[in-house]
Every structure is written in C-alpha cells, then in structure tokens.
C-alpha cells in the first residue's frame, strides 16, 4: 500500500473502533504526525488514564504501554511493535526490590516510570522525569530512599535536593553516551545556545554541568516548553533525536542542534506506519498484565499522579 493509503486506512480503523493513538516524542516523525496525542511519559500516562477510547494504540516502548494498561485495565492497550524494550526497564526485577525491602523494612522505594509492571508493583512511589523532584521532595530528606533504576537521574536528584538516596546501577543505553565533554564541546561551537538536557544523560550528576549557566534539565515535554517560551534563537538538545521534530514544528524560526547525531532510541524507531496499521486491523499486540500486579502497581502510579 502507498503511504497515503496506509494513513487513510489507519484513520478509518481508528474511527470505526473508537481507538486513540498515543505517541512518545522519540517515535518517527510520521507516527508523531498521525497521533492524537504526542507527549512525554507523564503526559502519556495521564492521557491513557483519561481517554474515553476503547482501544489505546501505544506508540512507544513496552513499559509505557504497560503503564497505560495499568492505569486503564478496562481498555484494550495495543503496541504496534514487539520486542521494543528499554535498557532501564530491563536493568531491574521485582525480586531485586523485594531483596532490598527485606534488608530495609523502614525504607521507601521510588522507581522511575521506566520499569516493568512487576517492579512498579513492588514500588512505593513512581515518578517520571517531569515530576521526580516533586515526588522526592514530597517524601522528605529524613526518609531512607532507594531510587531505581536510573543512576544518572538519581545522581541528578541527589545533587539538586542534597538527599543521599541509594541508587540502583541502571542506565539508558541511549542517554548514557551524553557525556560532560560532549556537552561542553558542543557549547564551545555554539556559545550563545541554551543547553537543554534530559536528566537520564550521563552528565546529569556532574557538578560542572549542573553549575554551568547555560544548562537546563528537563523531561522531553519540559525541553519543548523551555524552547517555546524562551527568547533565545539557538538550543543544544541533549536527548533523543525524535524530540527535534516537535521542537522544529513549534518553533520554525529557532535552531536546534542535537548534541550528537547518534542519540537515537532503536526501540522507539521500531514503531512504523505499517505496524500501526496492522495493530489497528488485527488488534495486536495486546499488552495484558496480571490483575494482582495491576492492583499493586496502580498504587505507586496513583501516588505519583496525586503529587504532580
């Protein structure tokens, strides 16, 4: 089928089946343009919880679709590509958390949303990069906190709050390559640019980068908001390449420079137009979660949604 015909079929199936298409900023540009809503992890979790659609086609990685299935267990959640994992979500298991809880019965576990449903079920509070600071500050400095699984986001939060959370040793295989040197080299080339950094980046806990007058740390949605509201004309973007699409669309008169051309999430790029069409046509691949795990995971997600 021609591309335009696939798009038409997707629109028809969506209307016929009362489906909604949610897409993350890291998906391909044509997926973002077709989606009913494009957002960061927090925005997507909220949309999934609030939609009145019967079917959610989730264009993102597996843990994101799982989050939608947890918040909307009555809806059919589909993911267009199989095996679209995330190195952070794969770095820790429910059993790892149970072991920590046994050794630290008074402690609290805060998990980044990039985790499996099983891990969320063992977690006290979930957070995303949009609300992690709010969640941590809500808990207070005197609590013993185990932050999982992203060591870079965890180091950033410890530095920002002065907390001393214990950190799991996980990382995002995409953002791990964004080093302090990479950011500083790029800044030498574009000295007037603001540097907008996703806190999963390897440089996020580095004092030099944190104290740098031009650096700002945000989730993907925060990066887009900063660029839109700023009077600046030039920005260095330290996150996945897909984010440039919305940035350029919303700010045609501004310049966005990716910190490195290889900051690409292969899992997100597995979502294709053909896969999206087949997902709607055959109602595949359904993301289903054990009801007991769903109930427990809902607690940690709802606590997060209530805080921010």
What is the per-residue burial (b if ≥16 Cβ within 10 Å, else e) of 13-28?
bbeebebbbbbbbbbb
Q: What is the nearest approach in angstroms of ligand 13P to the Cβ of residue 102?
A: 29
- Number of residues forming the site for ligand 13P (CB under 6 A): 10
Q: Is there binding between residue 171 and ligand 13P (CB under 6 A)?
A: no
Contact mark string toward ligand 13P, 194..223, x via CB under 6 A: ----x-x------------------xx---
Taking CA atoms, 184 is separated from 158, 203, 205, 214, 241, in Å, by 22, 10, 15, 10, 19
CB of 68 to ligand SF4, least distance (A): 15
Please choose which of ligand 13P, ligand SF4, none residue 87 contacts, taking the beta carbon within 5 to 8 angstroms, the exact cut-off set by kind: ligand SF4
Residues 118-157 that bind ligand 13P (CB under 6 A): 128-129
What is the DSSP code (8-state) at residue 8?
Answer: H
- Rounded to the nearest whole angstrom, what is the least distance from the CB of residue 156 to ligand SF4 in the complex? 14
DSSP letter at 72 equals -
Query: Which is it for strands 76-78 and 125-127: parallel, antiparallel or unpaired?
Result: unpaired
Residue 187 exposure: Cα atoms within 13 Å on the Cβ side: 16
Question: How crowded is the C-beta side of 250, counted as CA atoms within 13 Å?
Answer: 15
Residues 6+ apart with CB under 8 A from 171: 87, 88, 91, 150, 151, 152, 200, 202
Q: How far is the CB of 198 from ligand 13P (least distance, A)?
A: 6
Residue with smaller CB distance to ligand SF4, 72 or 129:
129
Strands (E), 60-114: 76-78, 108-112
**How many whole angstroms separate alpha carbon 251 and alpha carbon 306?**
32
Give 187 or 198: the residue with its C-beta nearer to ligand SF4.
Answer: 198
Nearer to ligand 13P, 13 or 220 (CB): 220
> Does residue 27 touch ligand 13P according to CB under 6 A?
no
State which residue, 14 or 120, has the beta carbon closest to ligand SF4.
120
Q: How far is the CB of 175 from ligand SF4 (least distance, A)?
A: 6
- Which partner in ligand SF4, ligand 13P, none is near 267 (CB below 5 to 8 A by kind)? ligand SF4
Beta carbon of residue 243, minimum distance to ligand 13P (angstroms, whole number): 9
Task: Return the biggest CA–CA distance within the chain.
Answer: 60
**Residue 41 interaction partner, one of ligand SF4, ligand 13P, none, beta carbon < 5-8 Å per kind:** ligand 13P
- CB nearer to ligand SF4: give 124 or 200: 200
- The structure tokens listed for 211 are 């104290």
Q: Which is nearer to ligand 13P, 271 or 280 (CB)?
A: 271
Residues pairing with 148 in the sheet: 111
Q: Which two tokens stand for residue 91?
A: 């770095």
**Residue found under tokens 């267990």:** 73
Instruction: Kindly state the smallest distance separating residue 156's Cβ from ligand 13P, in Å.
Output: 13
Give the whole-angstrom CA distance, residue 167 versus residue 148: 6
| Residues making contact with ligand SF4 (CB under 6 A) | 61, 86-88, 114, 172-175, 200, 240, 265, 267-268
- Does 114 interact with ligand 13P (rule: CB under 6 A)? yes
User: Where do contacts with ligand 13P occur on this chain (CB under 6 A)?
Assistant: 40-41, 114, 128-129, 172, 198, 200, 219-220
């Amino acid at each position: 089928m021609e591309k335009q015909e696939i798009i038409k079929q997707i629109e028809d199936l969506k209307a016929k089946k009362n489906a909604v298409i949610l897409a993350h900023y890291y998906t391909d540009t044509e997926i973002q343009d077709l989606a009913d809503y494009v957002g960061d992890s927090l925005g997507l979790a909220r949309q999934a919880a609030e939609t009145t659609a019967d079917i959610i086609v989730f264009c993102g990685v597996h843990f994101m679709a799982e989050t939608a299935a947890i918040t909307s267990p009555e809806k059919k959640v589909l993911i267009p590509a199989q095996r679209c994992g995330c190195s952070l979500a794969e770095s820790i298991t429910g059993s790892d958390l149970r072991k920590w809880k046994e050794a630290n019965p008074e402690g609290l576990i805060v998990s980044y949303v990039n985790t499996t449903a099983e891990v969320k079920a063992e977690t006290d509070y979930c957070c995303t990069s949009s609300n992690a600071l709010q969640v941590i500050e809500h808990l207070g400095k005197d609590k013993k906190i185990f932050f999982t699984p992203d060591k870079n986001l965890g180091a950033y939060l410890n530095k920002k709050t002065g907390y001393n959370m214990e950190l799991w040793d996980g990382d995002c295989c995409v953002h791990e390559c964004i080093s302090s040197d990479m950011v500083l080299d790029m800044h030498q080339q574009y000295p007037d640019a603001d540097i907008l950094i996703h806190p999963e980046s390897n440089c996020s806990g580095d004092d030099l980068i944190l104290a740098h007058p031009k650096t700002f740390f945000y989730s993907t949605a925060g990066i887009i908001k900063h660029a839109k509201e700023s009077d600046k004309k030039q920005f260095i973007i330290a996150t996945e390449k897909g984010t440039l699409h919305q940035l350029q669309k919303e700010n045609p008169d501004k310049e966005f420079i990716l910190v490195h051309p290889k900051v690409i999430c292969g899992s997100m790029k597995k979502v294709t137009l053909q896969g999206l069409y087949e997902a709607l046509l055959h109602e595949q691949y359904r993301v289903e979660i054990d009801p007991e795990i769903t109930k427990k995971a809902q607690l940690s997600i709802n606590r997060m949604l209530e805080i921010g």
